[in-house]
Amino acid sequence: MNTLTDITQVFGTLYHPKSALVFYESQGAQKDIYVEHFDMDKNGTPINAHPLTEREAEALAKALVTEKQKQTAFLKSGGILPTKILHINPSRDKGAVIWYTKSQKRPLYFIESLGIPCRAAYVPPMVWQATKNSLKVFALSGNKRPTEKTPLYCAPFFNIYEDGRVCMGSVNISIAESACVEDFTKAWEDYFFNSYFSHLMGEVSPVKGNCVSLWKDLVLSVRPFPTALLKANNKTLKNLLS
């Protein structure tokens, strides 16, 4: 006789029945509706039948509204749209945002073999383009809000391909389905700056000169980022919109 093995633990998240609603409808021209609420025992058997209470009805309505809000909240603004937002595609499947940030001082992390201390330093103005699963970054030569004709420069960091794509390595990206645009952009900025910079993609320097020497100087001196060292990539903001 074969031995039965309980494999329910490998299914992932398990959902257990907690309660049930039964809707009754009267016959005749004027139909009345009556709702009965059942609790469930540990075997999933309906017990404790009673008319649906006002409190239970309110809890049900709140749950339904919350779920509907989650389905429509992705990339919506939590208030007035931030001025740093340049473009939004709010599609749930292909949602994407383009935004910019001014030059700012951020803590930066480098793997030990680069020989760069993990300290705060000034980064240049940046343009960000992100979906729920991917990120591209570029640099700007000034803090002014960019237009379609604004030239883009290579982001002067490690772990970035020539087309701006960021290699996030082992970073676990988890963007909520209900994330508003403010949470979405903050999450990506945190993912980027809180991960460790490790290597150049294709061994090509993203700046004029030596990238390691540049960042070693910047974290030790805490001087403004020298935008004159940015390397042009022959793209404008309009290229990201097409």
Q: Please report, for the chain, the start and end positions of each structural domain, with discontinuous segments joined by +.
A: 8-72, 85-241
pTM of the model: 0.70
Residue 50 binned pLDDT confidence (cut-offs 50, 70, 90): confident
Average pLDDT over residues 126-145: 96
Per-residue confidence band for 2, with pLDDT thresholds at 50, 70 and 90? very low
Average pLDDT, the chain: 84
Mean local confidence (pLDDT), 178-201: 92
Q: Distance from CA of residue 206 to its chain's centroid?
A: 25
Strand segments, DSSP code E, in the chain are 19-25, 33-40, 46-51, 85-89, 96-101, 104-107, 109-110, 120-123, 126-130, 135-139, 151-154, 196-197, 232-236
